[in-house]
Amino acid sequence: MPHDDEHLSAQPDPAPRLDAMLADLEELVTCESWSADHTAVARSARVVAAQGRRLLGAVPRTLVVGGVTHVRWTFGTPRVLLLGHHDTVWPIGSLKTHPWAVEQGVARGPGVFDMKAGLVQMFHALASLPSLDGLCVLVTGDEETGSATSRPLIEDIARQCSATLVLEAAAPGGALKTSRKGVSLYDITAHGLAAHSGLEPEKGINAATELAHQLLALQGVADTVTASTGPGTTVTPTVMRAGTSSNTVPARAELSVDVRVPDAAAQEAVDRLIRALEPQIPGARLQIDGGPNRPPLAPDASRKLFALAAEQAARLGLGPLQQTAVGGASDGNYTAGVGCPTLDGLGAVGDGAHADHEHVVTAAMPDRARLLAHLVGALR
């Protein structure tokens, strides 16, 4: 539906029809959009753009950065940013093993919960408003891989706005996400010296053994940071590779490390400790790449927005609105990091992000759209 440039002067229309929302959700879910496949992401962006154009009455700007396709609508001078992503973690072909389906009030399919249902709810919520003046809608294509190409877009818009509403999936029970841990990502590479493991292993420098020493050292990093800054920090080794053949001393070993922190002080402390790691085997060398990826989303960034959302939920008769802190990060970390008040988890109610049981509770979709529409109205 077309919108003029007048400010909001009336309540949003009644809740969207569930059948219309499910038709749009099917269209998005059945257009697969694995982050690693830029062609698929571009195809998905066209579907997102068309759906938004139909519901918002405006043609978006399509932005291709580093081969990744993002979609943006701007109405007047932005004061409120609505933020989401259309890429998913599901490889192309996942529809064959996880087909789109709606059964007994539950919708399933790759990316249905994280976060295509959130996009549908957002579009239908905004379509119910008499005006979209002062809003910016940004749907990115690389959130699942760290938002390398979209981060500057997100931060530039957030700096202009007084609030960001993130349409990521809700926490269990529909709770909004008012605190997220910060994320740091590291790649630790041990360099050694190859040698025949049977004839002359003593002439080699075993990079895999060196990396084992570093694994043990990493166990103490989180404990050290917790002792100095408080609980909540995790340092988790994830992917590890070493060696070229079973009869060769490994000359190179690689380790990826996922770090989650509750606040900026912990993030800085972990960074110092990891960069201070030293090789333990004579002749070995360490290479440490990476660092802080997303700043923490602190509770203060969400406090006033959550109170406003809870007030709107009460007025709509939606029951007490819940909030929670989560370890996972989102693009809301970036908006909060530049000082924009941010409320996350306004998207779908369901469970199973990135998992085989990913699903959305369909009955909650119209009410979540109503809540978002009234929240946007209260912010303008």
Phi, psi values for residue 102, rounded to 5°: -130, 115
pLDDT of residue 1: 40
Do the beta carbons of residue 107 and residue 72 sit within 8 Å? no
Residue 244: pLDDT band by 50, 70, 90 thresholds? very high
pLDDT of residue 100: 98
Would you say residue 23 has pLDDT above 80? yes
Pairing of strands 163-166, 342-343: parallel
Amino acid identity, residue 312? Q
Do the beta carbons of residue 301 and residue 265 sit within 8 Å? no
Residue 11: pLDDT band by 50, 70, 90 thresholds? low
Q: Is 27 a catalytic residue?
A: no
Would you say residue 2 has pLDDT above 90? no
How far is residue 276's CA from residue 12's CA, in Å, rounded to a whole number?
55
Do the beta carbons of residue 351 and residue 359 sit within 8 Å? yes
Q: Helix count (H) and strand count (E) of the chain?
A: 10, 16
pLDDT of residue 5: 38
pLDDT of residue 6: 36
Average per-residue pLDDT in the chain?
95
Would you say residue 96 has pLDDT above 90? yes
Average pLDDT over residues 63-92: 98
Average pLDDT over residues 160-172: 98
Residue 55: pLDDT band by 50, 70, 90 thresholds? very high
Would you say residue 15 has pLDDT above 80? no
DSSP-based three-state secondary structure for 111? coil
Do the beta carbons of residue 100 and residue 30 sit within 8 Å? yes
Strand order in the sheet with 101-103: 101-103, 106-108, 359-361, 350-351
Domain segments of the chain as ranges: 18-180+296-379, 182-293
pLDDT digits 0-9 by tens, 250-271:
999 999 999 999 999 999 999 9
pLDDT of residue 174: 96
- List CB contacts of 197: < 8 A, sequence separation 6 or more: 204, 246, 247, 248, 249
Residue 9: pLDDT band by 50, 70, 90 thresholds? very low
pLDDT of residue 10: 47
What stretch of H or E contains 101? strand 101-103
pLDDT digits 0-9 by tens, 269-293:
999 999 999 999 999 999 999 999 9
Average pLDDT over residues 92-107: 98
331: closest CA among 148, 157, 147, 175?
147
Whether the pTM exceeds 0.85: the reply is yes
Q: Where are the beta strands (DSSP E) in 211-313?
A: 234-242, 252-261, 285-294
Using only the alpha carbons of the chain, give its radius of gyration: 23
Q: The CATH number of 18-180+296-379 is which of 3.40.630.10, 3.40.50.10800, 3.30.300.30, 3.40.140.10?
A: 3.40.630.10
Average pLDDT over residues 298-325: 96
Q: Among residues 24, 26, 32, 87, which one is catalytic?
A: 87
Would you say residue 304 has pLDDT above 70? yes
Q: Among residues 143, 168, 210, 271, which one is catalytic?
A: 143
pLDDT of residue 289: 98
Average pLDDT over residues 205-216: 97
pLDDT digits 0-9 by tens, 139-148:
999 999 999 9
CATH code: domain 182-293 is: 3.30.70.360
172, burial (CB in 10 Å: exposed 0-12, middle 13-18, buried 19+): exposed
